[in-house]
Amino acid sequence: MFDLPNISVPVGAFLIVYGAYMMFYVLYSLFNVYHLLRYGVYGFGLYLLVTIFTGGTIILVAGSTFLLMGYDWAHPISLDNTVEYYNEDLFPAL
């Protein structure tokens, strides 16, 4: 087959994907809240909806952050072990 050199990637590299997702989510949420406040019908229901949305967002972000804090993000993932899981039948010839 083929040999991979002894390369290891820290698990913390996946935090870049998480950070990009969170940045996109925050920008999209701010866009939605702005449009709700700018073009929505003023009243108690609008402010209640914005408050529930903002509170739910804070709970979800804080919850995911606290769950991710429990992991060792410096632990390396070795690419040598990934070859063991490769199967020739994964992509059979047509």
pLDDT, tens only, 14-28: 888 888 998 999 999
Q: Say if residue 1's pLDDT is above 60.
A: no
Domain positions in the chain? 15-72
Query: Residue 27 has what pLDDT?
Result: 93
Yes or no: say if 8 and 76 are a contact pair by the CB < 8 Å rule: yes
C-alpha triplet 78, 81, 84: angle, nearest 5°: 160
The reported pTM is 0.64
Amino acid identity at 83: V
Query: Residue 59 has what pLDDT?
Result: 94
Amino acid identity at 59: I
The residue ranking higher by pLDDT, 71 or 5, is: 71
